[in-house]
Amino acid sequence: MGEYTLQLTDEVTRNKARDLINRSPANTYITFKRNKSDTRSTQQNKMMWALLNIISNQIRWNGNEWGLHKVGARYSAEAWKVVFASSIVKETNWIPDLHGGMLPLNPATSKFNVEQFTLLTELIISQAAKWGIEIKDITDA
């Protein structure tokens, strides 16, 4: 049958892919690859973690609100990633834990496309500004 590479850009190429799959004999290997340019870059990821660490080091929960409080609970950059990423995805799936409670399935930012990741970093920067956190130049993060 030969070797084929298709980029799914429209319904015509999707139909071609379906046709190739339908005509493929048993034990044929098919590989699907996502275009890496569609996902966030390493530089964007570094920037996100730099922003999340800034938030993590400065923001506390005082029992009533988030803010630049002198006392209160601090949360890790990983926890803040879940908070902000969940705001972008806007849909959280839940699974039961081993003790009868429920756990959120955290959105994987590694699967975010460039647009989603841009929204994520803009949200973090915007929220930091609302809290009065100055974001210095972190382009070299």
HEC assignment per residue over 10-49:
CHHHHHHHHHHHHHCCCCCCCCCCCCHHHECCHHHHHHHH
Structure confidence at residue 121 (pLDDT)? 94
CATH classification of the domain holding 59:
1.10.3790.10
Task: State which residues form the domain around 51.
Answer: 38-130
Residue 50 sits in the same domain as residue 26:
no
Structure confidence at residue 58 (pLDDT)? 92
Summary mean pLDDT of the chain: 85
Q: For the segment 48-65, what is each residue's pLDDT rounded down to a tens digit?
A: 999 999 999 999 988 888
Q: Say if residue 137's pLDDT is above 90.
A: no
Residue 82 sits in the same domain as residue 114:
yes
Structure confidence at residue 34 (pLDDT)? 64
Does residue 100 form part of some domain? Answer: yes
* Domains: count for the chain: 2
Looking up tokens 């290997």, which residue turns up? Answer: 29
CA neighbor of 41 nearest in space, from 107, 126, 128, 120: 120
Residue 20 sits in the same domain as residue 62:
no
Look up residue 71 and give its two tokens: 């006392």
